Amino acid sequence: MTRQLTLLAQIPMIPPPISDPELEALLQRLEEEGIAHDAAQSEHRRKRLNLETPTARLLQLLILAARRRRVLEIGTSNGFSALWIAAALRRLPGAKPLITIERDPKRAAEARENLSQAGLAPWTDIRIGEATGVVSGLEGPFDAVFFDADRVSAPEQLSLLLPKLEADALLLADNALSHPVEIASYIEAVSQLPGFLSMTIPIGKGLHVAHRFQA
């Protein structure tokens, strides 16, 4: 797997699909700051743990290619992945703002600031609280959910979300390769869902992708 990841890292990345130099500069700055910030933090819970840029780019591409219009993100941090998702939603006719959940109010405030700076605040609805409680109060429907919080509670959120998913639904989860034990129950739960095709893409920390197709 290490060799596979090394090879992937050597593939030249396609340019971002969105031509917005200010947004690209902000994303690049946040990526660099996030890496430096996390390297200097010994406490795991204080880290930003942003997606790697190639994973964020793939996430954005999937949302655009599959024309997702009702997206939920679980695990906002300082809004790095939310910026990528919200920038996609802004381009899709009929899309609603991203709903993104974060339990740490300080992180949520940082995310709000970053999204405002990019002009993407109207495309993002940040909900502060424990993911499972927040999810139980959401109405839906959602056509894509990105799980990027604590992984262990993801199966609870998945079961609460099932009645709120559209028939054509995309489920995404990061850390499939970096935290295989923590994410195992989520992957097992997804594998039991009727009608979903799924796989782990070896990019970044491993992106698990599941899709229920509606003819």
Binding of residue 198 to ligand SAM (CB under 6 A): no
Minimum CB–partner distance for residue 68 and ligand SAM (Å): 16
26, 51, 95, 203: residue in contact with ligand SAM (rule CB under 6 A):
51
**Burial grade of 33 (CB within 10 A; 0-12, 13-18, 19 or more):** middle
CA distance 76 to 50: 9
CA distance 185 to 191: 10
CA dihedral 201→43→79→63, nearest 10 degrees, is: 10
Binding of residue 32 to ligand SAM (CB under 6 A): no
Q: 201: which strand partners?
A: 207
Binding of residue 112 to ligand SAM (CB under 6 A): no
Binding of residue 148 to ligand SAM (CB under 6 A): yes
26, 63, 71, 80: residue in contact with ligand SAM (rule CB under 6 A):
80
Minimum CB–partner distance for residue 49 and ligand SAM (Å): 4
CA distance 67 to 78: 25
61, 64, 153, 202: residue in contact with ligand SAM (rule CB under 6 A):
153
A 10 A CB-CB count for 93 gives 6
Binding of residue 142 to ligand SAM (CB under 6 A): no
Angle of CA points 33, 20, 109, to nearest 5° = 45
Binding of residue 121 to ligand SAM (CB under 6 A): no
A 10 A CB-CB count for 183 gives 24
Minimum CB–partner distance for residue 108 and ligand SAM (Å): 9
Smaller CB separation from ligand SAM, 110 or 143:
110
81, 99, 143, 171: residue in contact with ligand SAM (rule CB under 6 A):
81
Residues of the shown chain interacting with ligand SAM in the complex, contacts defined by CB under 6 A: 49-51, 75, 77, 80-81, 101-104, 107, 130-131, 148-150, 153
